Amino acid sequence: VRGHYKIFLGMAAGVGKTYRMLQEGRAEQAAGRDVAIGYLEPHARAETEAQAEGLERLPRREVEYRGSTVEEMDLPAIFQRAPELCLIDELAHTNAPGVEHAKRYEDIEDVLDAGIDVFSTVNVQHLESLNDRVAELTGVRVRETFPDSVLASADEVVLVDLTPEALITRLREGKVYPAERIPAALNNFFRVENLAALREVALRQTAEEVESKRILPAAELLGTRDELLSEEAPQALADRVLALITPRPRSQRLVRRAWRSAQRLGAELDLLYVQPPGQPPRGEERVQLEALRRLASVLGATLLVEEGDDLAETVAQVAAERGTTYVLIGQPRSRTGLRRFGESLPDRLLRKVPGVDVRIVADRSRRLENAK
Amino acid sequence: VTAARRILLPFLGATLSRATLEEAVAAARAEGAVLVPAYLAVVREDLSLDAPLPRGETESALALLELIEQLAARSGVAVDARIERGRTPREALDALLEHERHDAVIDAGLGGERSIANPAKMRR
């Protein structure tokens, strides 16, 4: 039986993920469970070290890498010790060459497969699908990433939250980094606006994880009680993303964003071009539509072309047929594009397809132009 | 109406350097051209050529295209990105040249030294 996987997710270093993991590990031990630390990165933080006291630490192993010796988690030692619960810090860590796996989250998979429960920690900026977004928000790109599927496969995701102001206070008090690193950290990554953006990302990510896990037990319940409800349940349970495209270059980016959203939701992706009746795309538009068709094929999405005078009406019809739960639209080029006949397209969509989330994907090139 | 010139910048997963990209952006900017960064996906023989790309590879490709768009947009260069599949990089490049008009191709190491080439001469 695969072990139980619990991940402590935070917005940045210093919010207390490792502390919380150790705290819960101690509680488990106090409750009579066999707990051991597989790997701990205390960063010389006194509070963290104190929490680790009384918990057995498994030995690390030394690996020669580029002429020096680095310490890595000792996976065979964990198997040999085989505790009930193993605490393993920083799942996005990249191992030195020569050990079983390139990444620590892969080591953790083996530990779970051996029937050992695992508590682990990670910061949200390491999540692959958020890497671009976080780099865009903060100007800092992290190299150590992990697939979204790791978070999705966890039995529990616990958000360790702290306000940006409180985290900065902790940083100033020397509770996160040693004194010599504090000024640089404050001037670069640890700015209120960066941390606020990361916090929002972490909160949203956790909310999506909670939502996806909350829905599954409901499905089981519906299937066993009411026949009519159970017939409707599959449509309501599977997420499906619909992205509205036009035969223009900027739709390429919209499709890429939609694919990423669909991946995070574990959803199928449909692309819809609503074509004016009797006006098939010609010339450059035809070329662009074909390019979008090829992109859809590469991404495993379905491209639909429907004729219609009324965009919102056509979207509503397609959304009903396809079981759409999210609609993504691009940022209109002009105000008139967004608002016609007194009601904006997002408002019309929300009215026409109730219960479906509508998201607007920003046009990055325009934003950058405006920022100049 | 004259269509904007299109400068194709094909690249494999890890072959695109910042210097190449900057040169491509500068060339596109100088000509008022559209930059077409194109990720060439090599599909293994045991997989169908029409099958969706593996997720990991897709994510890498999309992240690179996103970054290229950001950098190009900062320089005021319009971008029209592509992903093209083939059994070999050459086959994917040929498909790109077959599907759409391109006025110049930046040879980012696919055919040896970096240079701007005539697309007609790059076709097999």
Strands of the sheet containing B6-11, edge to edge, are B82-86, B34-42, B6-11, B104-107, B115-117
- How far apart CA A130 and CA A141 sit, in angstroms, is 10
Residue A231, both tokens: 């017939």
- When pLDDT is cut at 50, 70 and 90, the band that residue B26 belongs to is very high
Share of chain A above pLDDT 70, in %: 85
Residue B41 touches partner A, C-beta closer than 8 Å: yes
Most confident of A111-125, A159-173, A177-191, A199-213: A111-125
Give the sign of the dihedral formed by CA B81, CA B85, CA B90, CA B94.
Answer: negative
Instruction: Indicate whether this model's pTM tops 0.95.
Output: no
For A280-307, the three-class secondary structure string (H helix, E strand, C coil) is CCCHHHHHHHHHHHHHHHHHCCEEEEEE
- When pLDDT is cut at 50, 70 and 90, the band that residue A114 belongs to is very high
Average pLDDT over every residue of A348-366? 78
- How far apart CA A92 and CA A116 sit, in angstroms, is 19
Tens of pLDDT, residues A68-104:
888 899 999 999 999 999 999 999 999 988 899 999 9
Interface of A with B (CB under 8 A): 128-129, 131-132, 136, 147, 249, 252-253, 256, 259-260, 263, 284, 287, 290-291, 294-295, 297-300, 364-365, 368-369
- When pLDDT is cut at 50, 70 and 90, the band that residue A235 belongs to is very low
Residue A317, both tokens: 């019809």
Q: Is the distance from CB of B8 to CB of B39 less than 8 angstroms?
A: no
- How far apart CA A306 and CA A221 sit, in angstroms, is 37
- How far apart CA B95 and CA A308 sit, in angstroms, is 32
Strands A56-57 and B104-107: unpaired
- Give helix B55-74 / helix A131-138 axis angle, nearest 10°: 30
CB contact under 8 A, A131 and B63: yes
- How far apart CA A353 and CA A290 sit, in angstroms, is 28
Q: Is the distance from CB of A278 to CB of A315 less than 8 angstroms?
A: no
Quote the pLDDT of residue A66.
80
Size of interface A-B (CB pairs under 8 A): 68
Closest CA to A100 of A66, A69, A76, A131: A76
Helices (H), A173-267: 182-187, 192-225, 227-237, 250-265
Q: At residue A241, what are phi and psi to the nearest 5 degrees?
A: -105, 135
Quote the pLDDT of residue A164.
86
Report which of residues B4 and A30 the model is more confident about.
A30
- Which of the residues A146, A365, A366, A367 would you substitute to probe the B interface, choosing the one with the greatest number of B C-beta atoms within 10 Å? A365
Q: Is the distance from CB of A118 to CB of A111 less than 8 angstroms?
A: yes
Q: Which residues of A touch B3 (CB under 8 A)?
A: 284
- Which of the residues B48, B66, B68, B84 would you substitute to probe the A interface, choosing the one with the greatest number of A C-beta atoms within 10 Å? B66
Question: Cα distance from A132 to chain B (closest Cα, Å)?
Answer: 7
ipTM of the complex: 0.82
Residue B120 pLDDT greater than 70, yes or no: no
Q: Which residues of A touch B56 (CB under 8 A)?
A: 147
Residue B102 touches partner A, C-beta closer than 8 Å: no
Helix (H), strand (E) counts: chain B: 4, 5
CB contact under 8 A, B62 and A365: no
Tens of pLDDT, residues A301-347:
999 999 999 999 999 999 988 888 899 998 776 555 445 556 788 88
Residue A79, both tokens: 């198997």
- Which of the residues B2, B29, B82 would you substitute to probe the A interface, choosing the one with the greatest number of A C-beta atoms within 10 Å? B82
A100's CB contacts (< 8 A; 6+ apart) are A75, A106, A107, A110
Q: Is the distance from CB of B84 to CB of B98 less than 8 angstroms?
A: no
Which of A77-86, A199-208, A267-276 has the least mean pLDDT?
A199-208
Tens of pLDDT, residues B54-81:
888 888 888 889 888 888 988 999 999 9
Closest CA to B69 of A319, A241, A118, A369: A369
CB contact under 8 A, B59 and A253: no
Maximum Cα–Cα distance across chain B: 46
- How far apart CA A44 and CA A27 sit, in angstroms, is 23
Tens of pLDDT, residues B47-58:
788 888 888 888
